[in-house]
Every structure is written in C-alpha cells, then in structure tokens.
Structure 1
Amino acid sequence: MEDRGEDDDRAAPSVPGLHEAVFSAASVGLALIAADGRTVRDANPFLCNLLGYTPGSLAGAPVTKLFTDRTPVLTAGIRRWRRADGEGIDLRLTITPAARAEGEPDLVAVVEPVDADELVRAEQNRDAVIAAGLGEWRWEAAHGQVSLSRRAGEILGYPAGRSARWATMQTGFFPGDYQRIHQAVTAALARRAPWEFESRFVRGSDGVEIAISVRGQPIYGADGTLSGMVGIVRNVTQRIEAQRALREREQRLRVATSLAALGIFEWHLLDDAAIWENERMFEIFGRRQEEGGIGKGEFLNTILHPEDRVKVRRQITKALRQDGVLHVAGRIRHFETGAWRNIEMAGRFERDAPGQLPTRLIGVVADVTDRRQAQERQSLLIRELHHRVKNTLATVQAIVGSTARTATSIDSFYEAFVGRIKSLSHTHSVLTEDTWQTASLHGLLVNELMPYLGTDEAEGLGSRVSLDGPEVDLPSDIAVPIGMAIHELTTNAAKYGALSTRQGRISVSWSIMPGGEAGILHFAWRESDGPPVTAPSRQGFGSRLLQRVLTTQVQARVQSEYPSEGFRLVMQAPLPGRNAALNPLV
C-alpha cells in the first residue's frame, strides 16, 4: 500500500509482512478505523466485496458513508450498513483496539454477515418480545437449574435469573397435567424436535392458579447428548377463560336452539355457498347431512314456493341495503316428503370491515307449520264457538218463550223449562268432553230414557226400551237439535205415551243410508202398549221443535204418525262431514 504519511489520519497504516497478507486474505470483513471512530483507514477485500466497493476504495472514507442512519462514530453491534448501490445490509460489527508501532491506538473492526435467526434475537427486539407478553427461560441438564428472564419470573412467580431447580417448579403443575406434559416432551425429545403445551400452573409467589403456554427447543452438546433446553412462556389465562366463556355461550346457544327446534346456518354471498351448522337445519329441509346445504339460488328458484319468491327477494334486498336484520317467512318444499312446510328465517348480514359490502348472512330457521295450523285451527274453533253460543242462546230464548206460552202454571213452566235446559246442557257437556266435538246417538238416547224407567225396574233399560242401530257420532252441528228432539220425544212419552204406563214399550232404530257428505241418518221412534193415541188438537212447543228445529237446523225430513197403538216418528237427516281443522290431535 502507498504510505500517506504519519500526520494524515486518513492514511492507511503499513501492514507489513504476514500481517498484511492475513488482512488481505481474511474470509471475514476487516477494517482499520481511526482512533476517534470517524474515519476508515483501510478495509480488506472481503469487506469491500461485501459492500459492493472495489478493493482499496474505502480507505479514508468517513464512517457516515457506510451506515444508513448516518452514524458519525462507529459503535459495535448489529448495524444496518449501506452498500455501494444504496441498498441496506445487516452486519455484525465487533470493535477492538489495536496498538500501532508508534503507540497511538487504532481500532480494528470485524464485520460479519448476520443470519435471520440471529437478527431476530438481537437486543433491539427484546422490547418487542416483552411487549408480546413472552418470557424467556433456560434449563440446564447438568444440574437441573432453571434460569428465567424478568418477564418469565413475573409469569411463573419466581425470581428472575437462576431462580429455581426444575424439581421445585414442576410442583406447580397438577399431577394429571404434569403426566401429560412429561409424555409430550419426552416424545418430542426422542424425535429431537421442538415441543409446546398449555397447562394450568400454580404461581410460586402467591399460589394463584393461572394458565400458561410453553414452547421449548432442545440443545445438544458436541457429543450429541442433551445439554439443556430453551424456550418461552406466556400467560394465557385471559385467553383460556375467554375461550371457556365462548364455549359455554355456544353450548347455551346449542341447547337453546335445540329446545326451540331452530336450525342454524351461514350463507356466504360471494360464492353463494351455505353452511348448515346443526342437524335441525337438515331436518327442516328434509336433506341428508352428506348432501350439504343449499345456496340462495337453489333456495329461491327451486325450494321456495313460487308465490313467496318475489316477497322473499324483496326482503333480502331491503336488508342488504339498510344493513338490518333479515326477517323472512315463506313456504318450502320438503326434500324427503315433497310437502309444503311453513318456515320463518331471521339473520344478520356481516361485513369483514366497515364500509365494505356484506360477505355473509348468519341466521336461524324455524319450522312453523304446526304453529300455523294450530293458529288456523284456533281461529276456526273461535268462529265455531261464536256460532254455537249464538245458536244456543237462540234455542234458550225459544225454549223460554214457547214454554211460557204453553204452560198452564208456574210449576208446569218450571218443570218443562228445567227439563229442556238440562237436556241442552247435557248435550253440550258431551260435545265439550269429546275431542272431535261429537255426541254418540246411543248415549243421547240412554241419557234421556233411563231416568223415566224408575228404580224398581229389575231388568233395566232393555225391559221396556229397544235400541237398535250402529255406532253413530253426531257432529256438533246436528247433535244439539237432535238431542233436544230426543228429550221432547221422551218427555211426551212419559206424560202421554208409552212411558206413562208400566206396560208401555219404546223401540228406537237407526241406520246410515248412502248420500250427502257423510251419509243420511234414518231414525225411527215407535211406541206401543201404552194408552190409546189420538192426534193432538193443537201444536205445542215439543211438536214445533220436532218439526221446525229439525227441519231448519238439521235439514231433516220429519214424518209424525198417531195410530191408536202408539206414536211414531221417522226422521231422515243428512250427516255433515267432519272438519279436520277442528281436530286438535292433527
């Protein structure tokens, strides 16, 4: 090298003989720096090539030329260097003083490349590690000593530094947890692989139970044996508690949706794909789980009832524009049965970020078919009740007026009126107790005839009364007027006909003939062995009921005859069909 003189600080020193050869041929960057740390006296070829300079071109360069942060004075550590092309490069700088022949010290700088792992572990990044809540630890296999960083000591409740032996610290783990951890770490070491676990831990300083996450890496000596382990520890108590609370909320939600029979779904708008979250969704739509859910297109165009599609599309569009909750009601075709089912759907559109378009809809579906049918049935029953009450009040009004007009005294009025009201009440009781709101024709006859036979009739009803006919349940529309007619027939027989003597007999027969909605009831009442019968001179209430009420309310054809051997009545009444909507068991 050229000698630039002793008085010039920028001049490169002479590196005689072997020292010069080592300096030039070194496979590591070397530089001679002026004593004040501001000027490069010389740099070897390796460093010049590393920084993109020609050999010898850095001699006399100011230090500020070499660093991106324009540092005027050289300092040790991992620094960001500036290459000749302006790009930055991370290099480790080590500085040591070197005595010159004249006694004035220069600085010798050793410059080495830095790998990524070493760069990440640099001192500048320790604050970030601490800010992330991570504590560092080290275990030495020779004597089982555990060393903790300050943050690790705070987490585990032990002093920082070489604070405790592993035999002491392991008592902070619950026995079941420690056994699991020991097995996992042993298996990882057998593979010479890193390991990690989460566990409960009793803090050493105050005995408080926390949750920790631990990661470790084995360290092996030159002979390949395990010399220790290093790793990090983190307090994850809040996360674990949050996860536990989330699981509890999800469990409560699952229980609630299960009890409420709600299906849960998630619909992704961009790819029109649906995720059905629980079994109830598949039950509502009648699909198998392996078939998966259906998207909006198939739902609107195939599954939803054609009459409901326009309304549902409009509600979806409205909820999208207003960023609100979606409420939809409609009919769907059940995949398995093909039947139409009523559903109600509620959900909310979610966005990945404020101001962006919605990306998914999260909601629930309920099958409300049974509820809708029950509501319709209830409305029908209420209308039926109003109709019956109105007819019953009209019947009572007619009973009062006609009984009063035909009664000869207060006692006769009372007797006739009370009997007719009791008969009306009984018929209504039978109707109310029956699920289908019907009354047995045989039961109505027995109820009216039995009281007139007296208590001394050893043979019972069959000794004087013959009842012959199939089991017939009279719908409520005709049960009340027919029940009143039977009451009047029985009352007249007890006063004037076959039941007024001990020898009189009554024969009642009925059958169902074809015709009408549910057939035609053919009913025949015949009396015999009673007092001689003559046609009445005037028509009383009973006769008017038999003729008018049966004709008007039952649409029956009634024929009465008065032969001397006994009264006869023949009635033909069409039976109305049952209204299935009135059956609460359906």
Structure 2
Amino acid sequence: MRVGAGAHEPRQDVPQEVRDPHRAAFEDAPVGLAILTPDGAAIRDANACLADLLGYAREALAGTSLATLREGAASEGIEIWRRRDGALLDVRVRVNGGVLAVEAVDADEAVRAEQNRDALTAAGLGEWRWDLGSGRIGLSRRAAQILGHPPGRSLTWPDLRGMFSEGEARRVRRVLRRAFARGRHYTLECRLARGGDGRSIVVGVRGEPVRAPDGTLTGTVGVLQDVTTRVEARDALLGREQRLRVATTLADLGIFEWHMLEDSATWENERMFEIFGRDPAEGTLGKTEFLYEILHPDDRAEVRAAISRALKEDEILRVSGRIRRGDGAWRTIDMAGRFERDAPNRLPRRLIGVVADVTDRRYAEERRTLLIRELHHRVKNTLATVQAIVGSTARTASSIEAFYEAFVGRIKSLAHTHSVLTEATWQTADLRALLANELRPYAGDAQGGLDGRVSLEGPTVALPSEIAVPIGMAIHELTTNAAKYGALSNRTGHVDARWSVEPGGPQGVLHFAWRESGGPPVAPPRRQGFGSRLLQRVLSTQVEAEVVTDYAKEGFSLTMRAPLPARDESLNPLA
C-alpha cells in the first residue's frame, strides 16, 4: 500500500539522518519500513505502509518489540508475523543498517520452495510452458525426460505435433482450441511416440491458458505425467470386465452389488432385471424388500441363516430360494457372492455376487429322477412279464418246438410294443398300430396292408405306457389264437376290431370289441392256457379292465372296458 507524503506530518523526534530530503522517500515507500533501536530489538519509527500492513497506528508501533510481532520462520527468507487483530501474515524481511523492510508475500510464493519441485519430480510430474509468440515449448527436467527431449526451450509445436498420430494431433488441437476459447483449464490424455527411442507412451496433461493484462492469449502452462502403466492397467481391467460381462451374459448370470449400510443394490447387467421380471425404470431391490416381498416365505429363514453364516465365518455365500417375479410367476434362483471389507477385521460394506435362474434346471432334475424311478419300475414289470411268459408257455407247450414258437412270438410282441413306446419317448402307443402290426402277417395283401379279412374301426387312441404293454400282449394272444384255432386259421374267416372312448375317469373309458366270424366252429377250451389267463387276469389286474369273452359257435368274441389313466407329463423328456 502506498501512502502519500502529505498523509502524515513529520515527527520531531525523527533522527537527523532521515529528515528532509529522505523523509519523503521513507513516507512514500511502497513497502513497510521501520527504523530500529540501536540494539535492533524494537521499532523507533514506522511508515504508513508498515502500519497498514500490521493493522497498527503509526504511533502504536513506536517502541514495539520485534519479538512481539514475529511468530517464527516459514521458509527461506520468509517469516510469519502476527497482525494486531491476531491474524498471521507471511512477510519477507530485510534489514539494512538500522532500517527494517517488511513486504507481504503472495500466498503461492509462501508455499513455493525447491523442495516443492523435488516433490513434483517424485510424483512423476513435469512442468512445461508454451509461448505462442515464439512457438517454443519450455520443458522442466522431468518433462523433458518423459518426452525424450532436452530440457529448456528445445521443443516447438511442429516437433510436438510430429510425435502424435494424425488423428491424435487433431484431437489435441480440438481440446486446446476449446480451452483457449473458454479461458479455462483443461486435462487430457494422449498417446505419442517418445522422442529418441520412438516408444509409444500415454501422457496425462493438465494446462491453464496464460493471458496478458489486456486479455490477449500469450501461451499456456501446466504439468504432464507419464500415465502409460496406469492406462494399460485400466484398459486391461476394462477388458477383463468386458470379458466377465460377456461370460456372465452367455451363462445367463445376473451381477449385483448390495451396499449393506444403505441397504441398496446396484444391478450391473440387464440379466438381473430379466431374472426378477423388473423394468430398469422400477429400480433395484434392497435386502429388506427382497426378503419380505420377493422371496418365498418358506425360504426366508434359510436365506437369512446363510447370510449370517457367510458374514460370521467370512466365507462365500451360497443360497437357493424361490422368488416372485414382477409378473407374478415363481422362479427358483441360485445366488453366490462374497462380502467385501475395506480393511481386515472390519465389518463388510458390500456383497458382490451373481444370480442364476435355475427353475428349468431344477425341474429337469426332478423330471430325470422321476424318469429313472419310472424306468426302474417298468424294467421290473417287463422282467416279471418275461418270467411269466416263460413259465406259462413251458407249462402249456407240448414240445420244445411248440414252446419255442409260442415263446418267441410273445417276446416279439412284447418287443414291438416297447419299440412303439420308445418311438413316442416311452409315453404312448397307438392302439391301431398295435393291432395292425399283429394282424398284418395273417391277413396282409401284396402291399403289406390289411385286406378284407380284417376290419379296424375306431378313433385315434394313444395308450399310456402303463396299459400299452398288457393290451399289446392281449392283442398278440387274440391274434395267435385266431390264427391257430379261429377266424384266421382258414381262408374265409374275418376279424372285426372296433373301439371307442366313452366318458368317464381322468381320460375316458376305452371300449374295445374283438369279434371273429367265418372260421371253424368254436368250442370253449377244456383247460386255461397262458392266453386265457392273460386275457382274464392281466387285463383285470394291470389295466383294471372289465373283460367279457364269448365262445359262440359262429365265432369267438371279446369285449373290454378299460379306464384310460392320465398321462404324467413330468415323465416326458421332451416337455
């Protein structure tokens, strides 16, 4: 602060050596001045600039001890003084003879020191200045080391531009033009070929436009840093994250983070919203809403216990449960995650994990278990049927040849029925196909069809596997008896098979009628063979059928009424 010479009257006790003409220079000095006592410990007189700087009246400073004003040294050449109001002030102090000069120090200068430059170097930061007038770029030692050029003003803009690719140079120019137009600082990362060895590096730059007092742009200053390692690590991390996202997408996994303190969640991919049937506009779910509104009530205790166990034992959380989607459907999910801590022995702050919708897989596992159990049951029944065929055929056969013929025929019939079931994924067998297969060898035409000796009439009926085998065996026995003793044993006989489905039971009641005509006269059998036992016992027991046989002289007939069981869709491997 400059104080005019006329602002204060000259004091009479001012020593002769500073009286006119020196008095005016003392009063008008732009820095604070004080005349010290002979021992240099106190102020004898002070000019207005020093009084204003320290917040004192000039008269009050006379006789003031320097020790009262000084608080200590800040750095080289800079001291800390205390103003009258208690505020601290950084000042530069010089003593020449008995005159003390005190000048306020700019805040930036107060913290500037050679050690600061060392700190910049230690941090990998290099300073630079670009003067638009000369076109030269000044580099500090560290900046020059990063760019591969000598320190000082050795670099020009054309030199620097040649270190960039054409596309990168255009991008840097756009950033600089925008910063200059707005008069604001700027930051950018750019890749360039280092001078000398041509090694590709990435440089982080921070700059500030510099303007003359009239506002004219004169250049720009800033710092730069080699960030190649950081950028490569960041790119590698982004690459890993991208690969992880691709892998989780292909695996149909949802990724989430649950922030424990806020009880809020972040869903990292679209799959999470798909699994829970939510629109992104609806937001995500916290623990409270998940446990008490989305999770099935029967699964809540198990999920809470699993979370508590993972927290207590610091282990991976693995849990399954049923959730109600936004559309009301229930789905089964598997969830796995790990609690992350900021530091060892501290409470976790978040849970990072993945979620998979395993509804279809669980259903497939349950269905496979049912299929295996059903397969065991059917194999057991088939072996029991074969055993019965062997025993009964042996008891009724009159010779080895007769036994072989009857046994092989019955086994072939059983095998055919199984083939029909296998082609339909072991679900059903078509009644017409079973009849045609048995009757075709005895009444086939040249094309392998059925001629006038056999009539088949009825709707399409898919026999469930549990009744297809005994009915197939019954059809075989009826056909065999007709070929040996009945309508198919001569050239004039006829077999008429008709069926329908009547109301009743889960799937209706099958009404089946077998009638023979035109064959040899019929008489009731004198003893019951395997075929008769099968028609009466097996159909009654396994099929729960009502069977009526009639050995009328003009031809044998059989009527059967059997309830059709409901199909178990869980046993269908294609469902």
For normalisation by structure 2, the TM-score amounts to 0.90
In 1, Cα distance between the equivalents of 2:241 and 2:532? 73
Matched-pair contact (CA < 8 Å) for 2:179–2:209: no
Task: Report the equivalent of 2:5.
Answer: none
Task: Report the equivalent of 2:90.
Answer: 90
Task: Report the equivalent of 1:29.
Answer: 32
Whichever residue aligns with residue 408 of structure 1, its letter is S
Select 2:306's aligned residue among 315, 318, 334.
Answer: 315
Whichever residue aligns with residue 318 of structure 2, its letter is H
Q: Given the alignment of the two structures, is residue 238 of structure 1 paired with residue 229 of structure 2, yes or no?
A: yes
Select 2:475's aligned residue among 482, 486, 506.
Answer: 486
Equivalence map 1:506-585=2 (5 Å): 506-585=495-574
Q: Aligned-pair distance for 1:173? A: 1.0
Task: Report the equivalent of 2:239.
Answer: 248
Equivalence map 1:147-296=2 (5 Å): 147-296=138-287
For residues 79-113 of structure 1, the C-alpha deviation after alignment (integer angstroms, 9 at most, x for no partner) is: 444567886432345x5x86xxxxxx678645223
Q: Aligned-pair distance for 1:221? A: 2.9
Select 1:367's aligned residue among 338, 341, 357.
Answer: 357
- Flag structure 1 segments of 5+ consecutive residues without an equivalent: 5-11, 99-104
In 2, Cα distance between the equivalents of 1:123 and 1:20? 39
Task: Report the equivalent of 2:106.
Answer: 114
Task: Report the equivalent of 1:341.
Answer: 331
For residues 185-235 of structure 1, the C-alpha deviation after alignment (integer angstroms, 9 at most, x for no partner) is: 112212222222111111112111111111222222345432222111111
In 2, Cα distance between the equivalents of 1:328 and 1:293? 19
Could you say if the C-alpha distance between residues 546 and 120 of structure 1 is closer, same or farther in structure 2, counting changes exceeding 3 Å?
Answer: farther
Select 1:498's aligned residue among 483, 487, 490.
Answer: 487
In 2, Cα distance between the equivalents of 1:460 and 1:290? 66
Q: Aligned-pair distance for 1:328? A: 2.1
Matched-pair contact (CA < 8 Å) for 1:66–1:83: no
Task: Report the equivalent of 1:421.
Answer: 411
- Flag structure 2 segments of 5+ consecutive residues without an equivalent: 1-10
Q: Given the alignment of the two structures, is residue 15 of structure 1 paired with residue 18 of structure 2, yes or no?
A: yes
Could you say if the C-alpha distance between residues 435 and 32 of structure 1 is closer, same or farther in structure 2, counting changes exceeding 3 Å?
Answer: farther
Could you say if the C-alpha distance between residues 194 and 84 of structure 1 is closer, same or farther in structure 2, counting changes exceeding 3 Å?
Answer: same
Could you say if the C-alpha distance between residues 380 and 37 of structure 1 is closer, same or farther in structure 2, counting changes exceeding 3 Å?
Answer: farther
Task: Report the equivalent of 1:101.
Answer: none
Provide the alpha-carbon RMSD of the alignment. 2.9
Q: Aligned-pair distance for 1:130? A: 1.8
Task: Report the equivalent of 1:398.
Answer: 388
Could you say if the C-alpha distance between residues 45 and 466 of structure 1 is closer, same or farther in structure 2, counting changes exceeding 3 Å?
Answer: same
Could you say if the C-alpha distance between residues 430 and 37 of structure 1 is closer, same or farther in structure 2, counting changes exceeding 3 Å?
Answer: farther
Task: Report the equivalent of 1:68.
Answer: 72
SS of 1:290's partner is helix
Whichever residue aligns with residue 248 of structure 2, its letter is T
Whichever residue aligns with residue 89 of structure 1, its letter is L
Q: Aligned-pair distance for 1:180? A: 1.3
Matched-pair contact (CA < 8 Å) for 1:196–1:213: yes
Could you say if the C-alpha distance between residues 33 and 483 of structure 1 is closer, same or farther in structure 2, counting changes exceeding 3 Å?
Answer: farther
Matched-pair contact (CA < 8 Å) for 2:45–2:61: no
In 2, Cα distance between the equivalents of 1:512 and 1:242? 74
Matched-pair contact (CA < 8 Å) for 2:91–2:102: no
For residues 447-490 of structure 1, the C-alpha deviation after alignment (integer angstroms, 9 at most, x for no partner) is: 11112235x64693042211111111111110111111111111
Task: Report the equivalent of 2:3.
Answer: none
In 2, Cα distance between the equivalents of 1:491 and 1:283? 61
SS of 1:242's partner is helix
Select 1:350's aligned residue among 340, 363, 367.
Answer: 340
